[in-house]
Structure 1
Amino acid sequence: MGTDGGGIKDGPRVVTSMGTAGGVSPVSPIHVYTQREVYGTVGASVTLSCSFWSSEWVSDDISVTWHFQAEGSRDSISIFHYAQGQPYIDDVGSFKERMEWAGNPRRRDGSIIIHGLEPSDNGTFTCDVKNPPDIVGKSSQVTLYVLERVSPRYGVVLGAVIAGVLLLVAALVALGYGSRYCWRRRQERLQRRLSAMEKGKLQRSAKDGSKRSRQAPVLYAMLDHGRSSKKPKAGAGDSRKERK
């Protein structure tokens, strides 16, 4: 360490962003983004996506770190690290032979792939990115859920059950529409019969009325003729009286 003319020692210098007025300029924090939840099946592969935004250009000193905290555990272990343009898979844990680097820092991508998922992979994965001098920021977490793979036989049985239920529902719907159609046809037939019967009654009543109207003058004429035949002749009575 050297001294200046005033006898003040030169200590370690901290590089900061200084404004023209001598104050510290505000620093934009780096932002890291991941999905909240990811689902996979035993034996399959899954991609854990991690993207970031930085106010600085992506430098050669950029670093990406992944940590894993198993489900039900309080300890977090480092499983992956990217630095100086090279990916490094940590030897700790069971991911060392099942992990693949899928990111591209130039495209602001720090994703990884985990192959051969196991039930013990259930847990929380944390992605942390540093892009000097932009090193202030908050990491992002994604929770992985590993599901048991459904056996083909069980899938076939389940598919058959679902297909049977759908066919049953379709048959019930068709039966309902068919019965409703038949009921409507019966109602239409009954209405036609009733209307035909009503028309027949009207026609019969009209015919009966016309017959009665025709027969009434004839009956009246017959009655008048009978009455006239019952009256005694005037000439016959007078002759009898004169004879006596």
Structure 2
Amino acid sequence: ATAMSPRATRRLLLAAGLLAALGVSPVSPIHVYTPREVYGTVGSRVTLSCSFWSREWISEDISITWHFQAEGSRDSISIFHYAKGQPYIDDVGTFKERMEWAGNPRRRDGSIVIHSLEPSDNGTFTCDVKNPPDIVGKSSQVTLYVLEKVPTRYGVVLGSVIGGVLLLVAVLVALVYVTRYCWRRRQAVLQRRLSAMEKGKLQRSAKDGSKRSRQAPVLYAMLDHGRSAKKAKGDSRKDRK
């Protein structure tokens, strides 16, 4: 191998110094992405997603590591490691037999699944990816919140209460409609009766008018006859005198 001349060495050192001064790294950094928060309930399963971006081809030496820091704890423990094409799951810790590898490095996916969630699973999970020569980059964190399940009996009671309230509302609405229907029907019956009564009064008044018109000549005749009879009696008395 030929040795570099002092001038070439100075140029190389100068270029490295300029790159360092500009903050440019000769190796492109790897980027790791996870959601900020994930929620699950006790006894259920949850997927902790982790994706990454690397400018280099996926290397056979790619490694993916997950760490866990329990809520309220300062210690972080390794719970999963992927290397040499094989997943290595922690089989002695708190996630023993509850963790599943769900990623695919070829698709830039380093996700894991946790089964049978427990309240002690609350905490921060950190995903770290190395894809040589991309080994520079920041890891990404996701916080898991495990919520308590609502007991079945409380769920039944709550469902019964809600059902009872809905039934009561339905009965009240039906009662309002029935009352309104009955009121309208009664008003219609009363209106028909009033119309019939008014019609009957008109007919009676017409009949009474016709009767009076018929009886008037008879009364006048009777009055005239009475007057003539009185006059005749008066004349006879005068003749006797």
TM-score (norm 1): 0.71
The secondary structure found in structure 2 opposite 1:57 is coil
CA distance in 1, matches of 2:118, 2:159: 32
CA distance in 1, matches of 2:237, 2:81: 161
* Cα RMSD, aligned residues only: 4.1
Residues 27 and 133 of structure 2 are in contact (CA less than 8 Å); yes or no, is this contact kept in structure 1?
A: no
Report the count of equivalent residues. 230
Q: Which amino acid aligns with 2:185?
A: R
CA distance in 1, matches of 2:214, 2:91: 129
Matching of residues 54-133 of structure 1 within 5 Å: 54-89=54-89, 94-95=94-95, 98-115=98-115, 117-133=117-133
Matching of residues 1-244 of structure 1 within 5 Å: 3-6=3-6, 29-41=29-41, 45-89=45-89, 94-95=94-95, 98-115=98-115, 117-148=117-148, 154-155=151-152, 157-229=153-225, 230-231=227-228
Q: Deviations over 1:4-53 (max 9, x none)?
A: 4448869x99xx9xxxxxxx799765332223333445566543221222
Gaps of 5+ in 2: 17-23
1:179 offset after TM fit, Å? 1.6
- Once the two structures are aligned, what percentage of the paired residues are identical? 59
CA distance in 2, matches of 1:213, 1:26: 124
Q: Which amino acid aligns with 1:158?
A: Y
Q: Deviations over 1:135-180 (max 9, x none)?
A: 4443221112334566xxx41x224313421331243133213322
1:106 offset after TM fit, Å? 0.7
Q: Which amino acid aligns with 2:211?
A: Q
Q: Residues 135 and 211 of structure 1: is their aligned pair in 2 closer, same or farther, counting only changes over 3 Å?
A: same
1:71 offset after TM fit, Å? 0.7
Residues 42 and 148 of structure 1 are in contact (CA less than 8 Å); yes or no, is this contact kept in structure 2?
A: yes
CA distance in 1, matches of 2:233, 2:81: 156
CA distance in 2, matches of 1:100, 1:232: 135
Q: Residues 4 and 37 of structure 1: is their aligned pair in 2 closer, same or farther, counting only changes over 3 Å?
A: closer
| Mean Cα deviation higher: 56-65 or 79-88 | 79-88
The secondary structure found in structure 1 opposite 2:120 is helix
The secondary structure found in structure 2 opposite 1:80 is strand
Q: Which amino acid aligns with 2:179?
A: W
Residues 2 and 9 of structure 1 are in contact (CA less than 8 Å); yes or no, is this contact kept in structure 2?
A: no
Residues 40 and 117 of structure 1 are in contact (CA less than 8 Å); yes or no, is this contact kept in structure 2?
A: yes
Q: Which amino acid aligns with 1:85?
A: G
CA distance in 2, matches of 1:206, 1:220: 21
The secondary structure found in structure 1 opposite 2:59 is coil
CA distance in 2, matches of 1:95, 1:188: 71
Q: Which amino acid aligns with 1:76?
A: S
Residues 31 and 54 of structure 2 are in contact (CA less than 8 Å); yes or no, is this contact kept in structure 1?
A: yes
Gaps of 5+ in 1: 17-23
1:57 offset after TM fit, Å? 2.2
CA distance in 2, matches of 1:99, 1:185: 64
Residues 123 and 143 of structure 2 are in contact (CA less than 8 Å); yes or no, is this contact kept in structure 1?
A: yes
CA distance in 2, matches of 1:183, 1:54: 74
Q: Which amino acid aligns with 1:122?
A: N
Q: Residues 2 and 89 of structure 1: is their aligned pair in 2 closer, same or farther, counting only changes over 3 Å?
A: farther
1:198 offset after TM fit, Å? 0.9
Q: Deviations over 1:174-217 (max 9, x none)?
A: 32133223312321332133112212221221122211220232
Residues 79 and 92 of structure 1 are in contact (CA less than 8 Å); yes or no, is this contact kept in structure 2?
A: no
| Mean Cα deviation higher: 37-46 or 208-217 | 37-46
